[in-house]
Structure 1
Amino acid sequence: MSRIVALIFLSLTLVFGVSCTSKQKKEDSTVGDVSADPSVTSQAMSFDPMGSDSGNIQGLQTVNFDYDQATLTASARKILSGNASWIKENSNLTIQIEGHCDSRGSIEYNLSLGERRAKAVKNYLVSLGIDGKRMTIISYGKEKLLSQGDSEADHARNRRANFVPLPQ
């Protein structure tokens, strides 16, 4: 009796095992030469993941905020006026506005504050004539600090809105 059960079990295992196998698709592992396409090369070279935080984008600057505030200061509005000119001149780019906070406060609170900062910047740029569809916002809260220290100068540097130009 146990021999019959074992044979039935073995038969069912083989039937189901064979029916569940599939042919694996062989993928083409060749990669084209990206450097041969000048548009890809220029886009890759112009993309700076740090955006305006790097200081490498002439005409596009990071703006800073007061402690626990999402209100634009007079100096931030002046910087944003210059940024608006740069954005208008570079109409082939989308701008990602990143809201950041210092290391104080909870993760949830800082994500919310960073979002309010990014929205304030976007709204001001829209009021200066920039199409809102060309801008996206994201909040990193306290996750991407520029300065790791705990001095007031470190905190002030981290309370910012950064601009990252992206190809459309």
Structure 2
Amino acid sequence: MKRFGFALMLIMVMAMSFGCAKKQVAVTPEEASSSETAVVEVVETEDSASMNGTAQANEAQLAEEVAAAAVALADTPILFDFDKFDIKPSYRAILKQNAELLKKLPSMRILIAGHTDPRGTSEYNLALGERRARAVQDYLIVLGVPATQLEIVSYGEERPAVQGSNEAAWAQDRRAEFALIQ
């Protein structure tokens, strides 16, 4: 039974030490040689405590930056002409800003979703939506964004931006949008 208790205590100490990499474990020689009990004291130095605080502050700041960048990316869809997937010159400046954000935050991963208006077959629209998403992805890669930060998907006509059966509504449906990958 004493061995079970010792093993349990050792497992708990190991679990606590893995949970916080900045902590040091101090065991006195008497405690280490005792087969009856093992008492382990976790000692946190001032340097490691301040490093933990700094790391947490940096992580919080990074999370805020990623959230702000995700909102900025999602605010402006890239619109396309009917039956086209080439990027209009007016959207290149927006994509350059998006690329700068993504390069600044290399841990951020983005899903680029391609959409179409309802005209055409479902198969054709899925393929066109994919070509639109891929065109945006390729442009961002040319601007220096690592491909590992980008994924694409096509929704075709399945997720319209606005309701309506006229050219004004359809123009909003022909787009590529950005979403943060969790």
Structure 2 residue aligned with 1:69: 84
Q: Secondary structure at the match of 1:104?
A: coil
Contact kept, 8 Å, 1:96 with 1:165, in 2: the verdict is yes
Structure 2 residue aligned with 1:116: 131
Structure 2 residue aligned with 1:58: 72
1:138 aligns with 2:169: no
1:159 aligns with 2:174: yes
CA–CA separation in structure 1 for the residues paired with 2:78 and 2:132:
10
More helix by share: 2
- Aligned-residue Cα RMSD (Å) equals 2.7
TM-score between the two structures when normalised by the length of structure 2: 0.60
Structure with greater contact order relative to length (CA < 8 Å, sep ≥ 6): 1
1:106 aligns with 2:158: no
Runs (4+) of structure 1 exceeding 6 A deviation are none
Structure 2, unpaired ranges of 5+: 1-58
Overall identity of the aligned pairs, in % = 40
CA deviations on 1:76-106 (whole Å, 9 max, x unpaired) are: 2121111111212222211110000011111
Structure 1, unpaired ranges of 5+: 1-38
Contact kept, 8 Å, 1:110 with 1:141, in 2: the verdict is yes
CA–CA separation in structure 2 for the residues paired with 1:59 and 1:98:
12
TM-score between the two structures when normalised by the length of structure 1: 0.65
CA–CA separation in structure 2 for the residues paired with 1:59 and 1:106:
29
1:58 Cα deviation from its structure 2 partner: 2.5
For these two proteins, the number of residue pairs brought into alignment is 121
CA deviations on 1:96-145 (whole Å, 9 max, x unpaired) are: 10000011111000000000001100000000000011101000000010
CA–CA separation in structure 1 for the residues paired with 2:176 and 2:101:
16
1:59 Cα deviation from its structure 2 partner: 5.0
1:68 Cα deviation from its structure 2 partner: 0.4
